[in-house]
Amino acid sequence: MSATREKWACDFCTYENYPSAVKCTMCRASRALIEQGGSEVIYELGQSAASSETCSGKSSPLAGGGAEATATNQAELSDQLAALQLADDTLREQQQQQKWICLRCTYQNWPRTLNCTMCLQRRVGVPAGPGGGSPEAAGGPGAADNRLVAARRESPSHDNNADAERRRRQARQADWPWLDACLGVVQGDSRPVEAYLANGGDPTRQLTATEVNLLNRPSAFDVGHTLVHLAIRFQKEDLLATLLSQIEGGGMGIKRVPSYVAPDLAADIRRHVASIVRQRKGANFPCFYVAEVATFALPAEVEDLPQAVQEQLYEELLDRDAQSQLESDPPALNWSLEITMRLGSRLVALWNRSAGDCLLDSAMQASWGVFDRDNTLRRALAESLRHSGHIFYPRWREYEAVQASLMHFSLDEAQWEEDWAALLSLAAQPGASLEQLHVFVLAHVLRRPIVVYGVKLVKSFRGEALGLARFEGVYLPLLWDSTFCHRSPLALGYTRGHFSALVPLEPYTDPARGATPDDDLQVTFLPLQSHDRKLLPVHFLTQAEVGMEEALLRQWLDVCVSEGGLLVAQQRLDKRPLLVAQMIEEWLNHYRRLAQTASAPFSRAVAVQDYSSDGDSDDE
């Protein structure tokens, strides 16, 4: 083999060296350690270039087994220096892009660090202990110092000795359950938040400058922020409700509606509802509607649970504050002992998200037992207004004109159009609060009457009256043919800008009595009169329909009169859809396990289980 073929090429300057050369004759790069980095080679090449200048272009003897290299002119050395400098800059840029983010504190670490420089959290995918292949991977006394040395070596422009030592001390002293709860709110993960609260954490605690520095996300965290601030800022309504209930002293404030316990089934239910939304085409009224009807009720098996477990279930399911407001004087709900006791038709308010979607959420809960997470009802509502606005607008304007005249004011045409445009815009914006018109349109989307029991006055947090609440009453799908709609209504509650689903406890059916689904046991009675025996208002009637309220109620609802003379509507509780029945069963099983554990001998307190929000994964 010839000598030329036995030469080795330098990776830096491509010069072909003799086999016995330990370093490159041209740029002095080490043959065995060619991968040590560009900065050192640039330095040595610079030294070589200086030597060349000193020699004034004459050849100089170099080591390498007696081999001699010719002198390189100054221009060639300059080109090689520039190329190596570019390679070094590229290498540094690649290292910068390859930083890994700590999953605990989100600090961006340099690639060669195995533990987070900020909180010492182990890098994901790197085995713990000495087997990590690096001194800083070991857990010995010098592990932290090794990590600090590595951080200093890799990021000299970011940390000096004092800063690194201070950050390391702060990371060790930080209250990471509290910081994890802050991160959980931002990421929509309820588990660290509930763990923090379950261990006695203070929901009103504020972030300090040191903690904001450790979290290293200035776009998300500010000094003085609490968990409530973060939940509001990042629109985490479920976590916000939990935190507010904790602050107000309502116990742990953990809510376990069925859709939280069985999030996969809840997602299937929402997909099913989305698949049964239709549009009435080929007609003058192209409104969207839901093809199937369901009515949600609490299962009768709840009463089979021990009293203590029942109380926990109701605490985690119901909105006690809304229930109290609706039943307080003057009562809007459960004011008749004849209906609640003798007829067994007491309604309870389900806990609902506190977002602007509460009307749609409550309607979905009252029918299918889940929240309208996917905005299915909102889209159907907005599209119905867009496609059928020419039908809704005249009735809305006539009704609102009558209401305005009662308060002795009127609007011109431009103002009517401006108000209508605002209502259309609100319908299309997820999270935007909705008005009376939207309840009326929703009754058409659901193809069934909606009965709203609400407070008479909207009050401030200090109890001061702010104005009249106009939501209470009956909303009939008057623009449909009555034969196209269902006569079984939904019941919703309204309290200070918030809607809640009102549902009954399912009557207990005893097979020994031969009860069938057609028996009266499967019917709930909803009063159509207020506590002072006045008929509930029927909204969006035309001038020709005013005075015919009771006749219209009998036309659109199954109406009867109780022995006490109360006008009531019958709400049928048909057999649950399969997916809803499965979700209810899984939810009940959680409390059945609690009952079994509580009744077991030598039982210990049951630990609080964490459930993610229905896909919050956003989702429920």
* Catalytic-residue membership of 498: yes
User: In the numeric block, which tokens belong to residue 184?
Assistant: 């959980």
Q: Which of 13, 9, 11 is nearest to 79 (CA)?
A: 13
For residues 550 and 563, give the distance between their C-alpha atoms in angstroms, rounded to a whole number.
18
Contact 344, 480 (CB under 8 A): no
- pLDDT, position 66: 42
- CATH entry, 176-247, from 1.25.40.560, 3.30.470.160, 3.40.50.2300, 1.20.1260.10: 1.25.40.560
Q: What is the DSSP string of 150-165?
A: HHHHH-TTT--HHHHH
290 closest CA partner among 486, 426, 571:
486
Domain boundaries, the chain: 3-97, 100-173, 176-247, 258-374+442-599
Please answer whether residues 492 and 501 qualify as being in contact, where contact means their C-beta atoms are separated by less than 8 angstroms: yes
Q: Which tokens go with 179?
A: 């910081």
Give the closest residue to 225 by CA, choosing from 181, 188, 189.
181
- Tokens for 402? 């009558």
* Share of the chain residues as helix, strand and coil, in percent rounded to the nearest 5: 45, 10, 45
Q: Which of 225, 229, 498, 539 is catalytic?
A: 498
> Given the DSSP bridges, would you call strands 450-454 and 490-495 parallel, antiparallel or unpaired?
parallel
277 phi, psi to nearest 5 deg: -80, 125
Q: Are 136 and 147 in contact (CB under 8 A)?
A: yes
Q: What is the pLDDT of residue 34?
A: 53
Catalytic residue among 105, 182, 358, 485: 358
- The residue with tokens 């989100």 is 106
pLDDT of residue 121: 76
Candidates 580, 491, 522; CA nearest to 257 is: 580
Cα–Cα distance between 378 and 355 in angstroms, integer? 13
For residue 358, indicate whether it is catalytic.
yes
Amino acid identity at 14: T
Give which of 209, 125, 96, 107 is closest to 168, Cα–Cα: 107
Pairing of strands 523-527, 465-468: unpaired
Give residue 82's pLDDT: 67
Q: Would you state the pLDDT for residue 94?
A: 58
Instruction: Give mean pLDDT in consecutive 10-residue pieces for the chain, a chain of 620 residues.
Output: 66 83 81 52 48 44 41 59 66 64 78 76 63 37 38 42 64 80 89 82 82 82 82 78 60 73 93 95 88 95 93 93 92 95 94 84 96 94 95 95 86 91 93 93 98 82 67 96 95 92 81 44 90 95 94 96 95 94 95 81 47 41
Give the separation between CA 119 and CA 122, rounded to whole angstroms: 9
Q: Is the peptide bond before 507 cis (omega within 30 degrees of 0)?
A: no
Structure tokens, 247:
């602050």
pLDDT of residue 225: 81
pTM of the model: 0.61
Pairwise CA distance, residues 243 & 238, whole Å: 9
Phi, psi of 429 (to 5 degrees): -105, 110
In one-letter notation, the amino acid at residue 541 is: L
Dihedral of CA atoms 10, 13, 14, 18 in degrees, nearest 10, equals: -50
The pLDDT value given to residue 355? 63
